[in-house]
Amino acid sequence: MQNMIQKDSIYAEPLAQVQDFCFDADVVEVFPDMIQRSVPGYQTIIQTIGKLTQRYQQASSNYYDLGCSLGAASLAMRRQLSDSSSKIIAVDNSPAMVERCRMHLHAFRSDVPLEVQLGDIRDLAIDNAAMVVSNFTLQFLPKADRDALVTRIYQGLKPGGIFILSEKVVFDDAVTHDLLIDLHHDFKRANGYSELEISQKRTALENVMRPDTLAQHQQRFAAAGFASATVWFQCFNFCSMVAIKQGAADANV
Ligand SMILES: Nc1ncnc2c1ncn2[C@@H]1O[C@H](C[S@+](CC[C@H]([NH3+])C(=O)[O-])CC(=O)[O-])[C@@H](O)[C@H]1O
Ligand SMILES: O=C(O)C(=O)Cc1ccccc1
């Protein structure tokens, strides 16, 4: 039924063989429930993307949402913008996501143009950007492709522009790593996922989601040219970072 949030039960039954996780029509159907029950702080992060938009918006600029899924970050940015000479560009390479994202976003009215593109963020031209958001997307790219993308993001930002990067992270220290994974699994259990769901999803993600350490993110920001970058949110092994390109921003609208 339209507008009804479907409960995620994708991994509820035992599977003979757990396939690699992919963002197909079944996942799209349950995605809001899945992300809400799986990612600690998801709502706080989306709200803060809105607050950062208030603070860092610049006139006549582009706002990118890389791996937009159903467009939650795009909507959070658009709610804060009123400048019709600015533009939001939301990109995802899952046809099922893009189709549902377009339906969802067209239900909200705004003067700010918003384009939902089907495509790979590695091929996207990024320019004149006040903000680039990657909310839990970089972790799905092959590791070898991440440096080049972050460098292109830096180059596509205007002075005073920001890159918001949310990611699941891993820890070099095994004791810390295991503790934070256990706490995340407790969070999922408290949100109604069974042991079977937790373990089958973990297997499904193993080959497709490869998180970096916080040190690797910091190092990548610096190599791309960002002089200022910090973690602004962390809950267990989930975090969100903001990297700021130096220079004087254009005036707000
Ligand atoms: N190379 C790629 N190019 C384009 N899209 C990609 C690529 N690889 C993966 N994706 C897309 O990145 C999204 C990651 S989900 C983002 C949540 C959203 N940001 C949110 O704020 O709700 C995160 C998660 O589910 O953990 C999926 O929609 C993929 O199709
Ligand atoms: O569920 C998990 O364990 C996660 O790491 C988060 C997640 C959320 C939605 C799709 C893929 C991964």
* SS3 per-residue string spanning 41-74: CHHHHHHHHHHHHHHHCCCCCEEEEECCCCCHHH
Short-list 135, 128, 121, 109, CA closest to 61: 128
Whole-model pTM over 0.90: yes
Residue to substitute in 92, 134, 152 for testing ligand 1 pocket (most ligand atoms within 8 angstroms of CB): 92
Which residue's C-alpha comes closest to atom 26 of ligand 1?
136
Distance CA 223, CA 25 (A): 37
On whether 101 is known to bind a ligand per the annotation, the reply is: no
Which residue's C-alpha comes closest to atom 29 of ligand 1?
67
Distances (CA, A) of 105 to 87, 91, 220: 14, 13, 32
Short-list 226, 165, 172, 209, CA closest to 38: 209
- Confidence (pLDDT) at 253: 62
Instruction: Give 229-252 as a DSSP string.
Output: EEEEEEETTEEEEEEE--SPPPPP
Distance CA 214, CA 72 (A): 24
- Confidence (pLDDT) at 252: 72
The whole-chain average pLDDT of the chain stands at 96
Phi-psi region of 36 (alpha: psi -120 to 50; beta: other; left: phi over 0): alpha
On whether 3 is known to bind a ligand per the annotation, the reply is: no
Is residue 221 within 8 A of residue 150, CB to CB? The reply is yes
Distance CA 85, CA 163 (A): 21
pLDDT, average across residues 241-247? 97
pLDDT in tens, 118-165: 999 999 999 999 999 999 999 999 999 999 999 999 999 999 999 999
Residue 195 CA, ligand 1 centroid: distance in Å: 25
Q: Write out the two tokens for 223.
A: 């190599």
User: E strands, 93-206, where?
Assistant: 114-118, 129-135, 157-168
- Confidence (pLDDT) at 65: 99
Residue 136 CA, ligand 2 centroid: distance in Å: 9
- Confidence (pLDDT) at 1: 45
Is residue 101 within 8 A of residue 90, CB to CB? The reply is yes
What number of other Cβ atoms are within 10 A of residue 130's Cβ?
26
In this predicted structure, the answer to whether residue 2 has a pLDDT above a threshold of 90 is no
**In terms of DSSP bridges, do strands 114-118 and 87-92 run parallel, antiparallel, or are they unpaired?**
parallel
Distance CA 242, CA 164 (A): 5
pLDDT in tens, 156-213: 999 999 999 999 999 999 999 999 999 999 999 999 999 999 999 999 999 999 999 9
pLDDT in tens, 27-50: 999 999 999 999 999 999 999 999
Report how far apart the first and last C-alpha atoms of the chain are (Å, whole number). 40
In this predicted structure, the answer to whether residue 117 has a pLDDT above a threshold of 50 is yes
Amino acid at 90: A
Give the residues surrounding ligand 2 with Cβ less than 6 Å away.
Answer: 34-35, 38-39, 168, 201, 205
Amino acid at 145: D
- Confidence (pLDDT) at 3: 55
The residues that bridge with 135 in the sheet, in sequence order, are 166
ipTM: 0.98
- Confidence (pLDDT) at 225: 98
What are the phi and psi torsion angles at 162 (to 5°)?
A: -130, 150
